Amino acid sequence: MRPPTELPADFDACPDRRGTGSEKWDRWSGRDVLPVWVADMDFRTADEVLTAVHERVDHGVFGYTHEPPGFRPALAEHLTRLHGWHVDPASIVGVPGVVTALALTARLLSSREEEILSFTPVYPPFLTLPGLAGRKSVRVPLVQGDNAWTIDSSALESAARAPAAKILWLCHPHNPTGTVWTRADLLGIADIADRHGLTVVSDEIWADLVLDEDHPHVPFASLDHPAASKAITLVAPSKTWNLAGLACAAAIVPDAALRRRWRSAGEGLVPMVNPLGYAAAEAAWRHGDAWRRRLLDVLRRHRALVLERVAMIPGLSCIPWQATYLAWIDCRATGVADPQAACEAARLGPSDGRDFGLPGFIRLNTACPTDRLLLALDRLAAAFARR
């Protein structure tokens, strides 16, 4: 199959990442397995970001670093421009990553043996971090429909009613399903959280990669609701501009007293943000939007290509994702007991659905040049070919 259209020059090729310490590419080092698993892109980041990083490197000194004065205003302006959310820059706290911030919220907002709720399937750290902090992970399964994943409000209400339930970790937009939660969804969550005293921690790292204009991202904390005013929001430029290795993210904590507790709880545990990460983040938020829009065009084309090809493979199905560059593929109707093993035998390396709390699925990363994605789809078809 030929690519649907020619891609912009930024995205029709990419550097060879082998031998660069890439977690994605080194996982199957020495084997002919095409990696389409971990959620980073094979594309170079925006030139504006590279220029900012080069300028910081050219300075030549990388000593102890505090937050630069432009970091918080750059993020606040970005959130207003893109999502219509007006954030007080004083509420923003720099952190080295969203996972670090999630771990900190577990310790800050709950005690040992108390419960952290999340909608499953979900990004694996949502399931593993509570236990590492001595808390309990409570899974609230999403409902798989014919063309959408939805929240089971009754299941959430039941889980939230437990006396030990203290936090809801919300993945918004959702990884791995790519669902963009609607305002109605969020208000339903907020009502339940308020009724039962849950604090909502909203991981919105994918907010800038919404593919459909008719499914806009609504920040949870932008709601006019008591639960929203108490929420913590986690954001980062890493998914949108491919900056995960530079370790820079932000927590938005509107409540001043909670923000002071946040800073205190992180002392001695949360390292300083990388100075190159600060430079890259500010440049991305201030100057990276044209590149982001070109990327979205590519990701939309890749989504169409994946959905077309998956529909041609007997036993596979995939609900169209509204955000991210991740295809969440249901393999259960193939009768293959271990879809991950079948893919690896066909020289394809996706993410295993078991890690997300739902066996029988795989997650496939589409953020690569089209010829590489076509090869991945050929290998996917081979993995589930009727024998």
pLDDT(3) > 80: no
Q: Which residues contact 247 (CB under 8 A, 6 or more apart)?
A: 96, 97, 273, 274, 277
Per-residue pLDDT, 191: 99
Per-residue pLDDT, 300: 98
The ranges of the chain annotated as CATH 3.40.640.10 are 59-287
pLDDT tens figures, 88-105: 999 999 999 999 999 999
Distance from C-alpha of 175 to C-alpha of 238, rounded to nearest angstrom:
15
CA-based nearest residue to 89, from 282, 242, 292 = 282
The whole-number average pLDDT for the span 219-234 is 98
**In the predicted model, what is the mean pLDDT of the chain?**
95
Residue 246, SS3 per DSSP = helix
Distance from C-alpha of 34 to C-alpha of 202, rounded to nearest angstrom:
32
Per-residue pLDDT, 186: 99
Q: What is the pTM of this model?
A: 0.96
What architecture is domain 59-287?
3-Layer(aba) Sandwich (3.40)
CA-based nearest residue to 170, from 147, 145, 196, 199 = 199
The whole-number average pLDDT for the span 186-201 is 99
Cα radius of gyration (the chain)? 21
The whole-number average pLDDT for the span 324-334 is 99
Residue 28, SS3 per DSSP = coil
Q: How confident is the model at residue 19 (pLDDT cuts 50, 70, 90)?
A: confident
Residue 20, SS3 per DSSP = coil
Distance from C-alpha of 109 to C-alpha of 116, rounded to nearest angstrom:
10
What architecture is domain 9-46+289-383?
Alpha-Beta Complex (3.90)
- Retrieve residue 257's tokens: 């007293």
Per-residue pLDDT, 9: 62
pLDDT(367) > 90: yes
The ranges of the chain annotated as CATH 3.90.1150.10 are 9-46+289-383
